[in-house]
Amino acid sequence: MIPVRGVNGARVAVLGLGRSGLSAARALRAGGAEVLPWDDNEAARAAAEAEGFAPADLTRAGALEGAAALILSPGIPHLYPAPNPVVAAAWAAGVPVDNDIGLFFRSFATEAWESFDSPPKVIAVTGSNGKSTTAALIHHVLAASGRDSQLAGNIGRGVLDIDPPGEGGAVVLELSSYQTELARALTPDIAVFTNLSADHLDRHGGLGGYFAAKRRLFAEGGPDRAVIGVDEDEGRFLANQMAEGPGDDRVIRVSAEAKLAGPGWSVFARKGFLAEWRKGRQVASIDLRGVPGLPGAHNHQNACAAYAAARCLGIGPREIERAFNDFAGLPHRSQLVAEAGGVRFVNDSKATNAASAARALAAFPRIRWICGGLEKEGGLGALTPHFGHVAKAYVIGREAAGFALHLRDLPHELCTTMAAAVARAAEEAEAGEVVLLAPAAASFDQYDNFEKRGEDFIAEVARVLQR
């Protein structure tokens, strides 16, 4: 645990008692704070009580009187589409609002670091798509090279649940826009931006607000190194904002679409080969085509970002290459779950928006595509250029007919349920094809989360193959 610093004797309110909220409550208590925890969910309050916390109803008038801060869980809106009433009450009372990420960054360094020859490093990864894989891959490379590394944030453990790192240790954080937009302290040593596509637009008041939330990690975080994907205008803008000139190697530009030129530092992938260039010369390359845990151009972009971050930490190209080849990938992200009769079954349930699903469609030449669910803002236009890879779509979800309207002339079948979609896709698939779950939609119309949806796909694939 990372005890929160500077709160001894203070009254600190915590709204939302899920993983991050309860973790924050524990760390605040360890730092000597009087914690005022609350959650509208009775089961969450009971879990807090079981750990010795006394819930305090923050929705009642005057509940924040005397509070030094309000710590907000990431799922609770603080501005758009409308402020949570407790947040509005904190504004009115002049109580600062923060989150567990802000607490982490202000509490991470301790007096013990003064005796370290090599202080711990924080690598923070954000972006729309690929941030989980990129963060996990960086962590894997560090561990494979013998570095003490911990993975936390939006993946793995809560940021305040990790162990205080020792000399030369590293903490790899995956940070969502919900986390970066509110944190009052953001000071990573290395910040990584993968890409940007329309997502969570209601939460951020539009695409500009969404990008602004991501940008805070760089503009307010002041990292020593910035690894920035430049395949969209937002990334190109951010790289330009961070660099002092063309040769500023504090900014490492990353691409999976183009060869990057110039006197600076860049890492890009073309036709399955990763190349590192510095000062106008190629200094290293890796063949990614046979790396089983990183299929497709979208994963090659993740590999480039992870490679750049690892190079910033002094890890050599050959060490990184060996670690890449040992990387198993993450569940629900281009996860190969079975192969039978020359047909592969791939679970990419995490492809919850059009841009991430488009990357999945681009990764395979001939696809039986399982798609559908709760549509997000931003539309499905990003998918259209990749329809040529799709032999047929099998649409799931309560609004399958509405989703199917976006497929235009693409052959498709309304299946509604995962069981029906997997059965039909498996029945019609031919050798060399991929049955791919890449929904391009949220899961909440039928499942609690994308993990449950992916698990259902895996179970149905197993059931079909056992027949």
Task: Return contacts of 199-203, CB within 8 angstroms, 24+ apart.
Answer: 199/128, 199/352, 199/353, 199/355, 199/376, 199/378, 201/376, 201/377, 201/378, 202/80, 202/81, 202/377, 203/77, 203/80, 203/81, 203/177, 203/178
- Residue 131 marked ligand-binding: yes
Dist CA 52 CA 50 (whole Å): 5
- Residue 262 marked ligand-binding: no
3-class DSSP state of 416 = strand
Report which secondary-structure segment, H or E, holds 190.
Answer: strand 190-193
Dist CA 162 CA 1 (whole Å): 5
**Structure letter (DSSP) for residue 296:** H
- Residue 107 marked ligand-binding: no
Question: What are 163's two structure tokens?
Answer: 């162990």
- Residue 133 marked ligand-binding: yes
Question: What are 215's two structure tokens?
Answer: 């940008």
Task: Return contacts of 41-49, CB within 8 angstroms, 24+ apart.
Answer: 41/17, 44/16, 44/17, 44/18, 45/17, 47/17, 47/22, 48/17, 48/22
- Residue 132 marked ligand-binding: yes
Which has the closest alpha carbon to 396: 353, 448, 437? 437
- Residue 73 marked ligand-binding: no
Question: What are 58's two structure tokens?
Answer: 């923050």
CA angle 211, 215, 216 (to 5 degrees): 125
**Is-contact 339 363, C-beta < 8 A?**
no
- Alpha-carbon separation of residue 393 from 296, 370, 404, 423 (angstroms): 20, 6, 9, 13
**Is-contact 443 374, C-beta < 8 A?**
yes
- Residue 128 marked ligand-binding: yes
Q: What are φ and ψ of residue 97, in 5° steps?
A: -105, 130
**Is-contact 25 37, C-beta < 8 A?**
yes
The dihedral built from the CA positions of residue 444, 447, 449 and 450, taken in this order, carries a sign that is negative
Which has the closest alpha carbon to 267: 212, 223, 225, 221? 225
CA angle 236, 238, 239 (to 5 degrees): 65
Dist CA 76 CA 97 (whole Å): 12
Annotated binding-site residue numbers for ATP: 127-133
